Amino acid sequence: MSAENSTSKETPNPAADGSELIRFDGVMKRFGSNVVLDHLDFTVSSGKHVTLIGPSGSGKTTILRLLMTLLKPDEGTIKVGGEYLTHEERNGKLVPAGETHIREVRKNIGMVFQQFNLFPNMGVLRNITEAPVHVLGLSKDEAEERARELVELVGLTEHLDKYPSQLSGGQQQRVAIARALAMRPQVLLLDEVTSALDPELVAGVLDVLRDIAHTTDITMLVVTHEMNFARDISDDVLMFDAGRVIESGSPEKMFSDPEHERTREFLSAVL
Amino acid sequence: MNKWDWSNVDDFMPRFWDGVLVTLQALAIGSLIAFSLGLVWAIAQRSTLIWIRWPVIAVTEFIRNTPLLVQLFFLFYVVPEWGPSMSPLATGIVGLGLHYSTYTAEVYRAGIEGVPAGQWEAATALSLPKTRTWTAVILPQAIRRVIPALGNYVISMLKDSPMIAVIGAFEMLGEAQAYSNETFTTEALTVVGVAFIVIAYPASLLLRALERRLVR
Ligand SMILES: Nc1ncnc2c1ncn2[C@@H]1O[C@H](COP(=O)(O)OP(=O)(O)OP(=O)(O)O)[C@@H](O)[C@H]1O
Ligand SMILES: [Mg+2]
């Protein structure tokens, strides 16, 4: 049993019941004249682990960044848990959402970055407790208790008092995972979280993520080049090309018998 | 040239210490103003509200690009006509602090821009409130890396501090010049020259030590 579930005192994380959690509707994103997402539609059910694959530049990172509100869509809407993420309904009309609304919806989403992005001026413990205290309003004690459990989950108990610069990349990334989970998000976004790591440190991080995938009901959107890992944890694999989903299916089907020529080409290049 | 006469030095000493006190006061309080006001400018210059950002940029550019001497005269002779009037020393301190705040604002700005975008993104991903992002994440990292540059401006300010004598705040050099004019001697000026070195040199050593510790 994971520390993550056994300590749920409050109520966020409504049990994953397979209902629709994420919905992209006609999402369009351009950078200048470069159309990166072209009227993209897709949905993710709660509790599912979905891996996004596709060639470099196909827009995988852009999708995760849109969900994290680090980018805004040029057109279309994104819903999370039935709520519009960057829009609000006012007098029956959809208008761009205010900061308060975005913040509320965004609390359901956590992200782990390729470059970890830990706060270097804070120790491990405070990296993890900072947001639970200042965003969720937990007391310092509650937040620290939660942090300690998560640090144990990611196997770093003896490093609790260190600063990020005193940790290896793999350890830093495991702290970053704990930091994201401390917010008890419904959705965890993972964008190539092992790409910046030395090869010998990759397995440790992937093991932690496998554990989380198998023992919690958190929904995951994963971008990774680790195809074995993707096969282990995914319920669905989405193949992107030129800003659209060109094929999707179970990892078994996608990795052994893809239908689309582009998928075959892509997989033969990475597998 | 007159011969060096120690009795002139002895004679000057009481006024020298008065001057040192004024110099150190101007430097200490002026730095405090420059450091805190500069931070306010730097943050305001990044405001998303154009009616905050734009005036602040205009005013700081203006102050930075006009001579301190003119600003001192303005504060001392023009401002009291329609606003508060202050003692020469207080005016001098405000003038130094205000002038240098426009330099420290640039220093802070560079420090803030030097914080990797990933730090802002991580703060957003955790939904940290704006003020918390600034005070707990961005500023501690930004300020740490600009402390040496800020320190350099303290030394520049020390070197500019004699200017406040023009509005009657007699710091070390002002006292020495007055003494020399009254007595037709030069020893006092030499004493003050040495005093500047005695203050500035250890200060710059201290700065360099700080730099080695902070910028690793
Ligand atoms: N901030 C930006 N400004 C301009 N163009 C951008 C920006 N971010 C991404 N792009 C462009 O958008 C396209 C999609 O980028 P994205 O990072 O989403 O691809 P990706 O599928 O994650 O690729 P990779 O596998 O290389 O990480 C690329 O052509 C990229 O150059
Ligand atoms: Mg990417």
The answer to whether A37 and A77 have CB atoms below 8 angstroms apart is no
Chain B nearest-CA residue for A176: B122
**pLDDT for A5:** 42
**pLDDT for A4:** 41
A270 or A208: which leads in pLDDT? A208
**pLDDT for A3:** 41
Interchain contact, B119 vs A119, CB within 8 Å:
yes
Residue nearest to atom 2 of ligand 1 (CA): A31
Chain A to chain B, count of Cβ pairs less than 8 Å apart?
Answer: 56
**pLDDT for B39:** 96
Percent of chain A with pLDDT over 90: 81
Q: Which of B156, B160, B171, B176 lies closest to B23, judged by CA?
A: B171
**pLDDT for A18:** 75
| Residue A11 confidence (pLDDT) above 50 | no
pLDDT tens-digit profile of A48-65?
A: 999 999 999 999 999 999
Half-sphere exposure of B116 (CA within 13 A, CB side): 9
Pocket of ligand 1 (CB under 6 A): A 31, 34, 36, 54, 56-62
Interchain contact, A130 vs B126, CB within 8 Å:
yes
| Residue B87 confidence (pLDDT) above 90 | yes
Distance from CA of A65 to the nearest CA of B (A): 9
Residue A54 alpha carbon to ligand 2 centre in Å: 10
Q: In this complex, which of B118, B129, B140 lies closest to A121 when CB atoms are compared?
A: B140
**pLDDT for B2:** 65
**pLDDT for B206:** 84
Percent of chain B with pLDDT over 70: 98
Residue nearest to atom 5 of ligand 1 (CA): A31
The answer to whether A26 and A40 have CB atoms below 8 angstroms apart is yes
Residue A6 banded pLDDT, cuts 50, 70, 90: very low
**Mean model confidence pLDDT for chain A:** 91
Q: With a cut of 0.85, is the ipTM above it?
A: yes
**DSSP per residue, A91-149:** TTEEEEPPHHHHHHHHTTEEEE-TT----TTS-HHHHHHHHHHHTS---HHHHHHHHHH
Kindly state the average pLDDT of the residues A231-254. 92
| Residue B1 confidence (pLDDT) above 70 | no
Q: Which atom of ligand 1 is nearest to the CA of A192?
A: 27
**pLDDT for B82:** 87
Distance from CA of B145 to the nearest CA of A (A): 12
Residue A192 alpha carbon to ligand 2 centre in Å: 7
| Ligand closest to CA A63 | 1
Q: What is the CATH architecture of B10-215? A: Orthogonal Bundle (1.10)
| Residue B214 confidence (pLDDT) above 80 | no
pLDDT tens-digit profile of A152-200?
A: 999 999 999 999 999 999 999 999 999 999 999 999 999 999 999 999 9
**pLDDT for B157:** 94
Q: Which of A76, A63, A107, A176 lies closest to B124, judged by CA?
A: A107
**pLDDT for A194:** 95
Residue nearest to atom 3 of ligand 1 (CA): A31
| Ligand closest to CA A66 | 1
Which of A78-87, B118-127, B178-187 has maximum average pLDDT? B118-127
Residue A8 banded pLDDT, cuts 50, 70, 90: very low
Domain ranges of chain A: 47-69+108-270
Kindly state the average pLDDT of the residues B26-31. 94
**pLDDT for A14:** 52
**pLDDT for A16:** 66
| Residue B104 confidence (pLDDT) above 90 | yes
Q: In this complex, which of B122, B127, B132 lies closest to A117 when CB atoms are compared?
A: B122
pLDDT tens-digit profile of A167-176?
A: 999 999 999 9
Domain ranges of chain B: 10-215
| Residue B17 confidence (pLDDT) above 70 | yes
Task: Give CATH superfamily name and number for A47-69+108-270.
Answer: P-loop containing nucleotide triphosphate hydrolases (3.40.50.300)
| Ligand closest to CA A29 | 1
Cα–Cα distance, B47 to B202 (Å, whole number): 38
